[in-house]
Structure 1
Amino acid sequence: MKKILVPTDFSIQAENALKVAAQIARINNAEIHLLHMLEIPSQMNDAITGGAPIPEVMLFIQKAKETIQFIKEKSFLNGLIITDSIKVEKPSHAIISYSKEQDIDLIIMGSNGTSGIEEIIIGSNTEKVVRLSNAPVLVIKEEIPEFHPKNIVFASDFLEEIKKPFEKILDFANTFDAKLHLVTICTPNSFKTTDLTEKTMQNFISGFPVKNFSTHIYNDTNVEKGIINFSNSINADLISLCTHGRTGFTHFFTGSISEDLANHASKPLIVFKI
């Protein structure tokens, strides 16, 4: 892990994410990419791309540069390599494109979640990035003075397609010498016998050199509640998931557990793309 991207809107949530990024960067000797997104009306954007300077936009860019410089001088970033950039683009699009361009290893985003009608209509930039990013996304909800997770929940159905992203989850857990709590959530709509579930999990984990782990079966009314309630029951420090990153009508009708948790879980969440 050599490149960590932290998108910022200069909010307290973004600063919480940056503080965690600083801690992870020190452990991995990584550099931090600090990205600010300016979303402006399309007619202004067309003028900029056409080479026509707009005083209001140039003022926004200048103020953003000054704020980024102020952030880079904060003490918790001392000694770290910080690359900064400003993109005039929709936030989620800018984050995804920048991540691909720079070959980012980890995206860390702050979020306070959304709920109700706001979530349905506009969603959040964080959940969009969680769904679309090829790089792992770590979602931070509050300030964490010492990010050193010792108990990490990995919720899954433990099918063959999960094995490749699980290698990355295992690497992340090993970075912190953390214990992995592997859990299958059983719901009324996805019932499996205990015997079958246990065999599936044991067959899955037997292919990996994992020593510090435990397996669990947890029953709840739906998967999202099951993951949250199980994580609370063991006082987990971090929740980890894999996602298919579905889009369009498939995503609309099936929803996304990773997006729901990005919005609703209070614990930090890291999501890996299948």
Structure 2
Amino acid sequence: MTTILIPVDGSDASLRAVKAAIKASGKLGNTTLHLLTVQAPIVSGNVTRFFSAEAINDYYQDEGKNALSPAKALLDETGVAYKEKTAVGPVAQTIAKYASEQDCDLIMMGTRGLGAVGGFVLGSVATKVLNLTDVPVTLIK
């Protein structure tokens, strides 16, 4: 069985990665798809003074749900089975860690996400994931 991790953030590039993974799963057969969205942690100490840990966690889950929604709609439409997870942490490191923990055979991700700052050719998250993991990465433009 082939396990494909698809990190998503709701961007057009991540949706193209989902479409590519759907196509790949059709060709490979016996494939498990994992949708992962990673919410960067809120680092301002002032936020924790005004909001409870529960409210902050609810915020992360709501943002994760919003990021996962377009990808889930595509997968539900095609009938491809998948697992989903919302995680909180440094984005690239969390993607690499998840791929390792879940014994993923492949990571398929967009070259550019929703982040405001990116690299010249590749997005900064994609570049970091390439450097942090031994799992093969397919970048979808």
TM norm structure 2: 0.79
Q: What is the match of residue 19 of structure 2?
A: 19
Structure 2 stretches of 5 or more lacking a match?
113-117
Contact 1:22/1:76, CA 8 A, preserved across alignment: no
> Partners in 2 of 1:28 and 1:83 — Cα distance?
18
Contact 1:96/1:133, CA 8 A, preserved across alignment: yes
Structure 1 stretches of 5 or more lacking a match?
142-274
Q: What is the match of residue 127 of structure 1?
A: 127
Which one of 103, 116, 119 corresponds to residue 114 of structure 1?
119
Q: Give the 3-state SS of the residue equivalent to 2:83 in structure 1.
A: strand
Contact 2:35/2:82, CA 8 A, preserved across alignment: yes
- For residues 122-201 of structure 1, the aligned pairs below 5 Å read 124-141=124-141
Q: Which residue identity is paired with 1:21?
A: A
Q: Which has the larger radius of gyration?
A: 1
Contact 1:99/1:135, CA 8 A, preserved across alignment: yes
- For residues 246-257 of structure 1, the aligned pairs below 5 Å read none
Q: For the structure 1 residues 129 and 55, does the alpha-carbon distance in structure 2 shift closer, same or farther, using more than 3 Å as the test?
A: same
Q: What is the match of residue 39 of structure 1?
A: 40
> Partners in 2 of 1:5 and 1:77 — Cα distance?
19
Q: What is the match of residue 90 of structure 1?
A: 90
What is the CA-CA distance between 1:36 and the residue it aligns to? 0.3
What is the CA-CA distance between 1:54 and the residue it aligns to? 4.0
The answer to which structure, 1 or 2, has the higher relative contact order (CA under 8 A, 6+ apart) is 2
Q: What is the match of residue 196 of structure 1?
A: none
Measured against aligned partners, the alpha-carbon deviations of 1:177-199 in whole angstroms (never above 9, x if no partner) come to xxxxxxxxxxxxxxxxxxxxxxx
> Partners in 1 of 2:63 and 2:87 — Cα distance?
14
What is the CA-CA distance between 1:63 and the residue it aligns to? 3.9
Identity %: 28
Q: How many residues align?
A: 130
Measured against aligned partners, the alpha-carbon deviations of 1:129-183 in whole angstroms (never above 9, x if no partner) come to 1122111000111xxxxxxxxxxxxxxxxxxxxxxxxxxxxxxxxxxxxxxxxxx
> Partners in 2 of 1:33 and 1:76 — Cα distance?
13
Contact 2:10/2:66, CA 8 A, preserved across alignment: no
- For residues 174-253 of structure 1, the aligned pairs below 5 Å read none
Q: For the structure 1 residues 132 and 60, does the alpha-carbon distance in structure 2 shift closer, same or farther, using more than 3 Å as the test?
A: closer
Q: Give the 3-state SS of the residue equivalent to 1:73 in structure 2.
A: helix
Q: Which residue identity is paired with 2:38?
A: M
> Partners in 2 of 1:42 and 1:88 — Cα distance?
12
What is the CA-CA distance between 1:80 and the residue it aligns to? 1.1
> Partners in 2 of 1:114 and 1:77 — Cα distance?
33
TM norm structure 1: 0.43
